[in-house]
Amino acid sequence: MLDILIIGSGGAGLSSALTAKESGATVLVVGKSYPTASQTSMAQGGINASLGNVTPDSTQAHIDDTIKSAHQLCDKSMVKKLCEDAPKSITWLEKLGVPFDRTPNNQVAQRQLGGASSKRACYAQDYTGLKILHTLYDNALKEGIEMIEEHFLLNLITEDQLVLGATFLDIISGEIKEIRAKTTIIATGGYAGLYKGFTTNSEGATGDGIASVLRAGGKISDMEFVQFHPTALKSSSTLISESARGEGGYLVNSKNERFVDELLPRDVVARAISLQVANGEEVFLDLRHLGEEKLLHLMPQEVRLCRLYENVDPIKELVPIKPVAHYSMGGIDVNRKLEVTGLKNCYAIGECSNAKIHGANRLGGNSLLEIISMGREAGRNAVRCTSSQQTNNSDTQQLQQDQAYIESLFEEYPWERNFYQIQYELGHKFYKYAGIVRDNTQLNNLLNELRVIKADLDNMGIGDKNRTNNTNLVEFLQFQNSLEIGEVLLDSALVRDESRGAHYKEAFPNKDDKLYKVNSLYWIEDEVLQNKLVKVVE
């Protein structure tokens, strides 16, 4: 039997696969797209490690910055673990062949990102995620790691909370399959994609793994915390990396006035921009003073994106921007070993997990670090887990159930309502009402609307009735996942009557540690969504 099933083939999944394989375990990586198409490729700015190659730095300073930005919602021991491991993660990546930029002294170059007290982010121009991901992929090929593409996760197979594997839709053939393993690692990415049209994320960031845990009876947490990146291109929502400000770029309004310290954490800068927009101002990123040579050398991708998607040349012109949904801090609730709360033999890593590292607001450069560091950690832990609890269960109930459901989509669903249109409308409403500044009445209205949409799913379905290569089917399944996730996001945002990090309510503008220094936990019991506020682990 397969030792470790890894669902998701981005940076987190590949890091855990390489590490588990090193220990002799059999691993299989299954993803809905090709590994190199994952969200990791879009990470631009850098990966944090307190190497101190450019300015003095220390592990403690990295820990302090991360905790400060998390606004007390983190588990300090997890933050410590991550920051202490960071230099080792860089060494590991260097050994695999990642081409990090260098200082004149031949050391790994580091740049400033927001909320950091030192130049801490190691980078490869503004293609850091791309180059890390492709190097991991090349190494996975080298090590003969089996990777299966175009398999869409449907459900976890469980018996008394023990995870036995998962069911998948083989997108190419249209078959529903099960893959069983002694241990399962979920590395399926975040859910900022539900802000459709107002997100830097790819089409597939629909929280598939998180929704599967919820349906399997596991717990998810802190879903109200979604980070808005201050600088996305105004017309296309394309990400312009924080390194643009780290290297000295300004934010200015229509009067050409700077209105915020550009290097404050993302939540603060996003709110400052939002306030300008509310006051009728347009907001721009000004990179002109950095000069052509520096821009083309350090940010070739940003220059290309500005020209292509906004039709402006950042070397000579102001770049119109807006803040959009970028990263989900909440996700599958895990313990310090990265095991999923409420399930057994199951781990979650990367953006889909809530390892209590980023808390209420993630620092730039910590997400790439998390996928590498925690990816490797889960790989090590999962190897130990494969020798523990086992079962010989061969019941195919989940498989049959999923086959029957997919069949019904082909046979019974009428396709009376166009879900694509609803998805776009919902994305816009999430941005407006569950975005940077929130209000209970609006959140409540949106939650009611979302529940009506959920109840109306029977009138939607798929227009494409071909069994093979059916991307219409995949997109409908993703839409359903984002509805399940969206419901929890809105409910948890309603419950939290305070402002903390990325979650901001005008009516409750301050932090309320007495009531809300808590993680908000959600799970399904007897088919009903349950929740509980749990004091943060000290």
Partner 1 sequence: MQRDLRIAINRDGKIEYFGVPEEKTTLLNALYYIKNNSDNSLTFSSSCRSGVCGTCAVRVNGKEVLACSYNFKEDDRIEPLAYHEVQRDLKVNKQKVRETLKKSTAWLQSHQEAIIGEKEVQLTEKQSECILCDSCYSSCPVLEVNPDFMGPFALTRAYRYSADPREGDIKATIDTIQTNGIWDCTLCGNCTEVCPQGIDPKMDITLLRSIASQFGYSDPNFQAMDFGFGGGF
**Contact (Cβ atoms closer than 8 angstroms) between residue 302 and residue 241:** yes
Q: 305 or 348, CB closer to partner 1?
A: 305
Q: 204 or 218, CB closer to partner 1?
A: 204
Among 131, 151, 229, 326, binds partner 1 (CB under 8 A): 131
Distance in Å, CB of 295 to partner 1, minimum: 15
Piece in contact with partner 1 (CB under 8 A), picked from 251-259, 345-353, 398-406, 462-470: 462-470
Other Cβ atoms closer than 10 A to 22: 13
Q: 325 or 524, CB closer to partner 1?
A: 325
Largest CA distance in the chain: 69
> CA 42 to CA 401: how far, in whole Å?
36
Among 1, 22, 77, 172, binds partner 1 (CB under 8 A): 172
* Catalytic (active site) residue 376: no
Among 125, 184, 354, 482, binds partner 1 (CB under 8 A): 125
Smallest Cα–Cα separation from 385: which of 441, 314, 430, 335?
A: 335
- Pairing assessment for the beta strands 4-7 and 183-186 based on DSSP bridges: parallel
Tell me how far the alpha carbon of residue 209 is from its chain's centroid: 11
SS3 state of residue 381: helix
206 is a contact residue toward partner 1 (CB under 8 A): no
Q: 36 or 440, CB closer to partner 1?
A: 36
> CA 111 to CA 365: how far, in whole Å?
10
Could you identify the residue written with the tokens 């855990």? 16
239 is a contact residue toward partner 1 (CB under 8 A): yes
101 is a contact residue toward partner 1 (CB under 8 A): yes
138 is a contact residue toward partner 1 (CB under 8 A): yes
106 is a contact residue toward partner 1 (CB under 8 A): yes
> CA 302 to CA 229: how far, in whole Å?
15
Which residues in the 61-100 window bind partner 1 by CB under 8 A?
Answer: 94-97, 99-100
Among 23, 26, 59, 202, binds partner 1 (CB under 8 A): 202
Distance in Å, CB of 352 to partner 1, minimum: 17
231 is a contact residue toward partner 1 (CB under 8 A): no
Please name the amino acid found at residue 324: V
Piece in contact with partner 1 (CB under 8 A), picked from 57-65, 138-146, 209-217, 269-277: 138-146
Candidate list 266, 362, 438, 500, residue with the active-site label: 266
Q: 193 or 486, CB closer to partner 1?
A: 193
| Tokens of residue 62, six digits | 């990295």
Q: 309 or 508, CB closer to partner 1?
A: 309
Smallest Cα–Cα separation from 198: which of 29, 425, 510, 515?
A: 425
Write a three-state SS string for 184-251. Answer: EEECCCCCHHHCCCCECCCCCCCCHHHHHHHHCCCCEECCCCEEEEEEEECCCCCECCCHHHHCCCEE
Among 119, 120, 134, 229, binds partner 1 (CB under 8 A): 134
State the number of binding residues for partner 1 (CB under 8 A): 56
CB within 8 Å of 178: residues ≥ 6 apart: 157, 165, 166, 167, 168, 396, 398, 399
418 is a contact residue toward partner 1 (CB under 8 A): yes
Piece in contact with partner 1 (CB under 8 A), picked from 235-243, 270-278, 321-329, 360-368: 235-243
Tell me how far the alpha carbon of residue 169 is from its chain's centroid: 22
462 is a contact residue toward partner 1 (CB under 8 A): yes
Q: 168 or 522, CB closer to partner 1?
A: 168
Among 161, 301, 445, 480, binds partner 1 (CB under 8 A): 301
Smallest Cα–Cα separation from 57: which of 395, 365, 440?
A: 365
Distance in Å, CB of 293 to partner 1, minimum: 14
Tell me how far the alpha carbon of residue 355 is from its chain's centroid: 12
Among 118, 221, 238, 482, binds partner 1 (CB under 8 A): 238
> CA 491 to CA 505: how far, in whole Å?
14
464 is a contact residue toward partner 1 (CB under 8 A): yes
Distance from first CA to last CA of the chain, Å, rounded?
39
> CA 147 to CA 6: how far, in whole Å?
9
Q: 448 or 471, CB closer to partner 1?
A: 471
- Pairing assessment for the beta strands 27-30 and 4-7 based on DSSP bridges: parallel
Q: 128 or 492, CB closer to partner 1?
A: 128
Among 9, 16, 19, 33, binds partner 1 (CB under 8 A): 33
> CA 281 to CA 338: how far, in whole Å?
44
22 is a contact residue toward partner 1 (CB under 8 A): no
508 is a contact residue toward partner 1 (CB under 8 A): no
Q: Which residues here bind partner 1, judged by CB under 8 A?
A: 33-34, 36-39, 41-42, 94-97, 99-104, 106, 124-125, 127, 130-131, 134, 138-139, 141-142, 149, 172, 202-204, 236, 238-239, 301, 304-305, 308-309, 418, 420-421, 424, 462-466, 468-472
Active site residues: 266
